[in-house]
Amino acid sequence: MRRTSCEVPTSGGTSVDARICLIVDDSRIIRKVARRIVEGLGFEVDEAGDGAEALSYCTAAMPEVVLLDWNMPVMDGLTFLRRLRQLPDGDRPKVLFCTIESQPERIAEALSAGADDYVMKPFDGEVLQSKFVEVGAA
């Protein structure tokens, strides 16, 4: 797990729960690009390199948003998503698929497996921001 050590922002002396987004992608470059955008939206970011790593992360603590690649080694995104939704509180995180797949059938498959929305790569900050707004996470 690649936990960041940035401080949780607090306001008026009351501690505020950090809004955490877990970025799940086997490409370090994609994770880095996505991290920069998502941090700009006010989230603290953690990263996982495959579905199995992401699942063990979520078993410990549910993030608010999961940005999820499809094709990854060990466990793919769709398998992760189905298992996540079976976990206690596993329906809580907003899951945004974020993948190169752009066929309508694949998009529909991801949505029916419980994804809240779907981002086709390539994406930019404006697309990602509008998707976060769409799922009510921005």
Partner 1 sequence: MTPEDFDRLQTLLLTRAGFRLTRDRINLAEHRLGPVARREGFHNVEAMLSSLWSKPVASLGWAVIEALLNPETWFRRDRAAFDVLSGELLPALVRARPGGRVRIWSAGCSTGQEAYSLAMAAEEAGAAAEIVGADLSQRALEKARAGLYTGFEIQRGLSARAMLRWFEPDEDHWTARDTLRAAVRFERANLLDDPPADAPCFDVIFCRHVMTDMDPARRARLLDALERRLVDDGCLFLGPDERPEADSVAFRPVAGRKGLFVKAPTAARRAA
Q: Which residues bind partner 1 (CB under 8 A)?
A: 102-104, 107-108, 111, 117-120, 122-124, 126-127, 130-131, 133-134
* Between 75 and 107, CB nearer to partner 1: 107
Strand order in the sheet with 20-24: 44-48, 20-24, 65-68, 94-99, 117-120
Task: Annotate 74-106 with DSSP letters as a single string.
Answer: SS-HHHHHHHHHHSTTTTSSEEEEEES---HHH
Least separation, in Å, of the C-beta of 58 and partner 1?
22
Closest among 22, 20, 19 to 1, alpha carbons compared: 22
Least distance CB 81 / partner 1 (angstroms): 14
Please state the closest distance from residue 23 (CB atom) to partner 1, in A.
Answer: 18
Instruction: Output 49 or 77, the one with its CB closest to partner 1.
Output: 77
Look-up of token digits 């769409």: 134
User: What six digits make up the tokens of 13?
Assistant: 């002396």
Q: Are 42 and 64 in contact (CB under 8 A)?
A: no
**Considering the complex, what minimum distance in angstroms separates the CB of residue 63 from partner 1?**
20
- Tell me whether residue 89 or residue 91 sits nearer to partner 1 (CB atom): 91
Q: Which CB, 8 or 133, lies closer to partner 1?
A: 133
